[in-house]
Amino acid sequence: MAENKDQHIVPKCYLSKFIDNHTVRKNKNHTSGVWVNNSTMDIPWYEKGVGSKKEFTESRFYNIKTDSGSKKKPEIEALLSKVERQYSSAILKLNNGNPFTTDDMFCVVVFIIFQLFRTKRAISGFQKTWDSIASYMDLFEGGERNKEEAEELAKVMLLRLVHIKACEPIYENGVILFNLTEIPFLTSDNPVVHKFINREDISNILNHNQILHYVNSHEETPFFFMPLTPCLAYISHKGVSNRKQKDYKCVDSQEIINLNNMTIENADKKYILL
């Protein structure tokens, strides 16, 4: 088995849902891909296959020291692959209109959580925090013991995400958003939007009629948004949660524009359009 060194930061199974299969091309051997631009949109759009090493992968990005001796199957990559397989199965059911269970919904939530923490921005930010804490502890204790123990900790934390209870609120307050407009969802190289917003903030994003009235409307609570396909997305916030109904049908183009603008603002270097 060859070493798995080209590792997707945004999974191939996710990007594949945004492939352009509609454009008519003269070259019959052409392999369709996704349309890419940078976050400032100052270059022409160009098409790239979802397996492109230059655009969507990093060499050995998720490898850690404990993988030595088993580089062909890095531990983090193995876990991410499992999460991606479960997610792909759940999204296939949703796309085909098959029964979508509570377990399927939770698989989508777990995928979103992992995607939030697996990006270069997230791992770099968390690692800087751990390195800073370790340096202060080493100044107090002397030596570099904490620096060595904190090394790669941001990556190692991915192995523990599956046990984090924080997934539950995202699931409980989440709905699948069906985009019934003619404007597709955009996605990016940092596809999970995560903020703390209140009821007034979310009423500026979504239709007032879709928002639940809950106690303390000025309270800022977690907001998560991730496009799943050009016509499906997951959104989680106290203002849209409804445990009796886990879907939200959007017919208002302005809502999609608002959510797409959030995706663009959240992008690291590039974002993708069907």
Strand partners, 188: 271
- State the DSSP H helix or E strand holding residue 130, giving kind and residue range, or none if neither: helix 120-141
Q: What local confidence, expressed as pLDDT, does residue 120 receive?
A: 85
In whole angstroms, give the CA distance from residue 118 to residue 81.
13
Q: What local confidence, expressed as pLDDT, does residue 65 receive?
A: 82
Q: What local confidence, expressed as pLDDT, does residue 143 receive?
A: 83
Q: 147 burial class (0-12, 13-18, 19+ CB within 10 angstroms)?
A: middle
What pTM was estimated for this model as a whole? 0.86
Q: What local confidence, expressed as pLDDT, does residue 164 receive?
A: 57
In whole angstroms, give the CA distance from residue 45 to residue 72.
35
Output the tens digit of pLDDT for each of the chain's 274 residues: 456 677 888 899 999 999 987 776 667 667 788 888 887 778 888 888 887 666 777 778 888 888 865 556 788 888 899 999 999 999 999 888 888 888 899 999 999 999 998 888 888 888 888 888 888 888 888 888 878 878 888 888 888 776 556 677 788 888 999 999 999 999 999 999 999 998 888 888 987 666 665 656 788 889 999 999 999 999 998 888 765 667 888 999 999 999 999 999 999 877 777 5
Which residues fall within 8 angstroms of residue 72, CB to CB, at 6 or more apart? 1, 2, 3, 4
Query: Which among 166, 167, 174, 169 has a CA at the least distance from the CA of 245?
Result: 174
